[in-house]
Amino acid sequence: QKEVEQDPGPLSVPEGAIVSLNCTYSNSAFQYFMWYRQYSRKGPELLMYTYSSGNKEDGRFTAQVDKSSKYISLFIRDSQPSDSATYLCAALLGGGGNKLTFGTGTQLKVEL
């Protein structure tokens, strides 16, 4: 079992839809959670960074962490074609650990 599981998709939605992307993880020692967006043939770009459980909002993006169920979510409101990319969730151990553990990424396509 992978430490961070993510549905690879692809996920196709119409423009303006609310997108929900999800990951689950197995290691309860993970304390920090990130979402990265990666366009084709580009490096990942940090979108959201959260510590422990709770919600964090930034513009059209909301990250949600539920440590009790080991569930990570990213919501995208009013989705745009420019949001079409692969979204990677990642988790990091507490205590200043170095190693990010990534999900496999979900490919999202927002259609006109």
Partner 1 sequence: GAVVSQHPSWVICKSGTSVKIECRSLDFQATTMFWYRQFPKQSLMLMATSNEGSKATYEQGVEKDKFLINHASLTLSTLTVTSAHPEDSSFYICSARDRGRGSRDTQYFGPGTRLTVL
For the chain, helix (H) and strand (E) counts, in that order, are 0, 11
**87: nearest Cα among 71, 104, 99:** 104
**76: nearest Cα among 33, 24, 30, 18:** 18
Shortest Cβ distance from residue 109 to partner 1 (Å)?
A: 14
Shortest Cβ distance from residue 92 to partner 1 (Å)?
A: 6
Nearest to partner 1 of 76, 92 (CB atom): 92
- Report the alpha-carbon distance of residue 15 to residue 108 in Å, rounded: 12
CB neighbourhood size of 102 (10 A): 17
List of residues contacting partner 1 (CB under 8 A): 8, 32, 34, 36, 41-46, 49, 88, 92, 96-100, 102-105, 107
Nearest to partner 1 of 6, 64 (CB atom): 6
Nearest to partner 1 of 17, 100 (CB atom): 100
Shortest Cβ distance from residue 53 to partner 1 (Å)?
A: 16
